[in-house]
Chains A and B, each alone.
Chain A
């Protein structure tokens, strides 16, 4: 019985790679280019530094994916990361220390996620409007708490999260495992069903509201934790550090094949998308491209990768 279940489970998981071939191929090509350009990547120091650079993007890409799977979108990712970093850096010198800091960040994420969830899942407001408005509020609150970078993060925490060791890689692995477990619960599958066919899911007895609500809370907590990680990495809080991450999260998810209409996409795709963007930035850094050129190349890669399946369909039709 158990063997049969495992067989079905892994067969389903394997089928979810459908349509990701192009992305994996592009990713492999750039990974090889990067390794050729920079042999040092295989040393523990450079490797952990690379993973630490990628990790926050991976987290926000995951956060965006969860929301997009429900058929929503989150435009407040960047300000939420900033606020997370600010709250982390201003609460760690309290009586509860690091523990208090982490707890505050978790509470922040859960509360903000619940607020979005109330509007979107219960009030049926469009996610794009709610999170756009929220992005202004969060940005304002972050700047109120900490008008300029500062605050305090214990060096011990910084070293634990961003030192020369594979802790971050382990955290990433943990993130993947937790997602896999979540996706194997009725609530996790309900999330995909609700994004794909909300009416049908509701008629099937899925609690669509709970699935969406849960998605927003989980997503916000992930974003807040990404902020905490940024604070630990830089050693201080910064009210604007998350700004580029809103679009980075959407780009990574789109690169990873996550659809805007809901129900379509995989976490592995989004993570691969964020990894591709990280590698791209590193490669262009090694090629000494000016920053402006990097933006252009980044945009072009997204367009090309997204267009690859279309080109393949067109190719098949004409052949």
Chain B
């Protein structure tokens, strides 16, 4: 399967973090003068693969090949010297250094040991012209808006005149004219013989100008082929095609049809213009690519960030009790809205404290100054532990638990407050299969009690199998709300990618 002019490649590389495999025997070959697309859902292993190719990480097994020769212990510095440049998604800029100093960082030309500012100025001017970088090169990068910083990041990669150029979602924060400019630039670089690896979630971009595609799915390559002859639907199918697992319970709606929350033109940070209503007993899915406003939507709902709405109602026993979004998390909790954050280690739990203490924490917040009562407390924690199947000694610190069990504690602790709305932010991220199943059971049980569950998930099958409806976010708004029957993986991913707004793709009956 060797490519004639492969300049950079990986051969059967595997990588695991803390025993969790992220890449399994992945091979990829970048060729000079070719634009190679790397596709995959969030968490498929794309970033890890880039880090291996650019020397930031070392593979557990397998080889990285440069010009067909294996290189061992590649570092970013050596990768630079070999002509490998990466346009990072997590920008690699120093905000207090100037644009020029950032562009040259790590590769300054020297004169008498000092940075040659004359050469730097000339190089920056030349690259700046090509990229439309109009800001003065002495401007500190911290003064630039995010989109312009992205341009500086690209300029920085071009500065070393790379033979191999890797773009990690370069357009995610770019304005449309800059995207067009970037496309022209990438084509020019290809024509000059640069090998390009291009990661993007914008399928139209990829179809527009990439030549070849490798698709990653759960850490394995599922497709490695020329792009010719593929359409957006075909690409989406390549990304989601997986073995169905016996993980989900048969779907049964428990929605009662009684409103618990409704809002019109709800706005919070990146989330704008959201209309939705929520019913008792419903599991409402929230999907979309990371960073399209869904997190802000959840945070805004629970009062963690400022939110506005034209119309906002929370109902208790059919009575509207509130007409504006919550100004604080405490207010939201008082009205029966609880938020379970994605980062359970930092935001969900106090790791050094006991499991019991963590389980009681929201209860403490709801009480004024009074003596703690041991017997009552242990009765509560006992009940919670049984309910979510938290096993073992609860006097242990929360950090002693596995990720999945920590998540169960983070969910269970809200139950004594009897919330009517539970907002969960990606509760099964990094959780093993068995615990996932337990969490699904718990969510179902809560819905059966009449609680409304809002489930933000980056794991698309969850949205498909658990949810009564799925709101799919794109560019800060809800691109479509798919009822269960239409919420197939293909449909959700297609809407999330902006391929189509209406769910015209035929949903597989589940």
Contacts and interface: CB of A to CB of B under 8 A. Distances in A.
A8 B107 contact: no
B115 A12 contact: no
B95 interface: yes
Contacts of B113: 185
Q: Looking at chain A's contact residues, is the secondary structure mostly helix, strand, loop, or mixed? A: helix
Most buried by B among A181, A189, A203: A203
A94 interface: no
Nearest to B156: A204
A4 B125 CA distance: 11
Contacts of B137: 8, 11
Contact of A205 (B77, B114, B139): B77
B100 A207 contact: no
Interface residues of A, number: 37
Contacts of A207: 77
A201 B106 CA distance: 8
A8 B92 contact: no
A263 interface: yes
Interface string A233-264: 00000000000000000000000000000011
A204 B162 CA distance: 13
A181 B94 contact: no
Given A15-B139, A202-B76, A193 B94 contact: yes
Interface string A193-210: 100110111111111000
Given A196-B96, A196-B97, A203-B88, A189 B116 contact: no
A200 B76 CA distance: 10
A4 B77 contact: no
B347 interface: no
Contact of B106 (A9, A15, A204): A204
B119 interface: yes
A65 to B, nearest CB: 13
A1 interface: yes
B106 A205 contact: yes
A15 B97 CA distance: 10
B101 interface: yes
A207 B77 CA distance: 8
B122 A4 contact: yes
Contacts of B319: none
Given A201-B92, A263-B95, A184 B114 contact: yes
Given A200-B92, A203-B88, A204-B92, A11 B105 contact: no
Interface of A: 1-9, 11-12, 14-16, 18, 181, 184-186, 189-190, 192-193, 196-197, 199-207, 263-265
Given A1-B118, A192-B96, A200-B88, 7 more contacts: A11-B138, A193-B97, A203-B76, A204-B92, A204-B106, A205-B106, A263-B95
16 contacts: A1-B122, A7-B121, A8-B118, A8-B137, A12-B98, A15-B140, A192-B96, A196-B94, A197-B95, A200-B91, A200-B93, A202-B76, A204-B80, A206-B106, A263-B94, A264-B96
Nearest 7 A-B pairs (CB), nearest first? A5-B118, A200-B92, A205-B106, A5-B117, A204-B106, A11-B138, A196-B94
